[in-house]
């Protein structure tokens, strides 16, 4: 299943092949953050070694060089997600900050008492709590789109919830806890039929699926650089031009202003209106290289490889007696959430850590989803392009060993 080309790709990730605690590392927590390819590491190192400078302000080579690399990333991201214009790409700290920005600058200003926001049962806390903060202050109602036992959104129930008071829907494209790929394009169309805006949490989708914001007709879409082979500290918010233009700034500070006096301050144009202060320059430059890296491989190829890996992993783990998988959606990628008999997920994680395996256990910042499945936590193995069959086989063997300990 895993071809030679793929194993060459794995060599781009120095962190993937190591011995930890005397064991071969099997990194199976890519949904939390992806490992970084050497080209991204080299670019960040180069920035700090020879090219350190602040951006947008220095009339000297170093500053102009850093500014041009920083702004080149905006162009690359704009092309990557097919944004109509580069000014619609706002750099934030990550998906979490992108949601907070829209909650504070859009929902807080344009939604009122009696309006409704729809979220799904499978949202990450960062796509729940920012809306709750605003909802409480403004008297907005939050309603939940139900899911079925396979971990799929129930579209008929969603349609029933789409009444005229719904002003905003915010849903995850790919669930971090289940791997479900939601029918976002169809959901956006249905929301637009009742004039509701749609926010897409693409944190997990961005490194697994081709995203085209115009084809989706998304009003807002957010993701984090660190889940797509780039450094931590940078994320993206895409928004439709008329919406971003209508929204007040989120934070005040340098770069986001036009003229400042103590009597009145005017604001800079997009995207700078939403980018107050010195941004994470090296991370943004690294993000540009990560986009080049993904483009060189091709998202179609990545998706098809990860589908093979998911099928292999699912069949292998399912063959373990007492193992239950959470999330068996028809459309799914790169995540296997599971439990093993009555063994607590944290016990599993600690025991298999000694076998060199890194998985995530807990509620995965999706407590309402855990409540739906009536479990406090699950184990989660998640994949990326550097994951190989050996990683999965290592997990399988370690789980068999854990089972024996508890028998």
Asked whether position 172 contacts ligand 7TS by CB under 6 A, the answer is yes
Taking the least distance from each CB to ligand 7TS, the nearer of 298 and 376 is: 376
- CB contact set of 142 (below 8 Å; sequence gap of 6+): 116, 117, 118, 119, 131, 132, 135
CA–CA dist 216, 221 (Å, integer): 10
The alpha carbon torsion through 242, 247, 251, 256 (nearest 10 deg) reads 50
Asked whether position 51 contacts ligand 7TS by CB under 6 A, the answer is no
Among 51, 115, 152, 201, binds ligand 7TS (CB under 6 A): 201
Q: Say whether the peptide bond before residue 280 is cis (omega within 30 degrees of 0).
A: no
Enumerate the β-bridge partners of residue 90.
237
In angstroms, give the least distance from the CB of 34 to ligand 7TS.
Answer: 11
Asked whether position 127 contacts ligand 7TS by CB under 6 A, the answer is yes
Asked whether position 176 contacts ligand 7TS by CB under 6 A, the answer is yes
Q: In this chain, which stretch among 76-84, 179-187, 197-205, 259-267 interacts with ligand 7TS, using CB under 6 A?
A: 197-205
Q: How many CB atoms lie within 10 A of CB 121?
A: 19
CA–CA dist 249, 259 (Å, integer): 14
* Interface size with ligand 7TS, residues (CB under 6 A): 16
Asked whether position 279 contacts ligand 7TS by CB under 6 A, the answer is no
CA–CA dist 399, 205 (Å, integer): 28
CA–CA dist 316, 319 (Å, integer): 5
DSSP string, 129-175: HHHHHHHHHHT-EEEEE-B-TTS-B-HHHHHHH--TTEEEEEEESB-
Residues catalogued as catalytic:
365
Please name which of 378, 400, 405 lies closest in space to residue 319, comparing C-alpha atoms.
400
Q: In this chain, which stretch among 76-84, 102-110, 201-209, 290-298 interacts with ligand 7TS, using CB under 6 A?
A: 201-209
In angstroms, give the least distance from the CB of 122 to ligand 7TS.
Answer: 9
Contact 245, 270 (CB under 8 A): yes
Asked whether position 273 contacts ligand 7TS by CB under 6 A, the answer is no
Query: Interface mask (CB under 6 A) for ligand 7TS, residues 220-259, using x and -?
Result: ----x-----------------------------------
Q: In this chain, which stretch among 88-96, 105-113, 256-264, 308-316 interacts with ligand 7TS, using CB under 6 A?
A: 88-96
Query: Interface mask (CB under 6 A) for ligand 7TS, residues 1-40, using x and -?
Result: ------------------------------xx--------
Can you give the binding site for ligand 7TS, defined by CB under 6 A?
Answer: 31-32, 94-96, 124, 126-127, 172, 176, 201, 203-204, 224, 360, 364
């Amino acid at each position: 299943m895993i071809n030679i080309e793929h194993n060459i790709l794995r060599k781009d990730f120095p962190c993937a092949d190591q011995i930890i605690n005397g064991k071969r590392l099997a990194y199976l927590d890519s949904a939390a953050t992806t490992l970084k390819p050497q080209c991204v590491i080299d670019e960040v190192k180069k920035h700090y070694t020879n090219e350190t400078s602040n951006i947008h302000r220095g009339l000297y080579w170093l500053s102009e060089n850093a500014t041009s690399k920083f702004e080149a990333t905006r162009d690359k991201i704009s092309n990557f997600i097919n944004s109509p214009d580069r000014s619609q790409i706002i750099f934030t700290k990550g998906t979490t900050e992108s949601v907070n920005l829209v909650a504070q600058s859009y929902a807080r200003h344009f939604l009122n008492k009696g309006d409704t926001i729809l979220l799904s049962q499978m949202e990450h806390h960062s796509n729940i709590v920012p809306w709750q903060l605003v909802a409480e202050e403004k008297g907005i109602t939050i309603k939940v789109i139900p899911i079925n036992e396979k971990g799929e959104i129930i579209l008929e129930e969603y349609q029933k919830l789409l009444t005229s008071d719904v002003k905003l829907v915010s849903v995850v494209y790919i669930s971090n806890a289940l791997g479900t790929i939601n029918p976002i394009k169809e959901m956006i169309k249905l929301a637009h039929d009742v004039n509701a805006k749609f926010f897409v949490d693409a944190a997990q989708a961005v490194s697994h699926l081709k995203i085209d914001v115009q084809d989706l007709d998304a009003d807002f879409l957010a993701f984090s650089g660190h889940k797509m082979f780039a450094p931590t500290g940078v994320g993206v918010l895409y928004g439709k031009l008329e919406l971003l233009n209508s929204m007040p700034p989120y934070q005040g500070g340098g770069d986001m202003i036009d003229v400042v006096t103590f009597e009145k301050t005017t604001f800079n144009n997009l995207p700078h209106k939403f980018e107050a202060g010195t941004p994470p320059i090296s991370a943004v430059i690294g993000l540009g290289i990560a986009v080049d890296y993904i483009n060189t491989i091709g998202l179609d190829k990545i998706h098809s490889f990860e589908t093979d890996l998911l099928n292999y992993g699912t069949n292998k783990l399912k063959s373990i007696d007492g193992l239950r998988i959470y999330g068996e959606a028809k459309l799914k990628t790169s995540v296997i959430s599971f439990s093993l008999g009555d063994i607590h997920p944290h016990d599993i994680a600690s025991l298999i850590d000694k076998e060199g395996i890194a998985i995530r256990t807990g509620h995965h910042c999706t407590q309402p989803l855990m409540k739906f499945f009536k479990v406090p936590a699950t184990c989660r193995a998640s994949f990326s392009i550097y994951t190989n069959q050996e990683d999965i086989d290592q997990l399988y063997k370690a789980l068999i060993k854990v089972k024996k300990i508890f028998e």
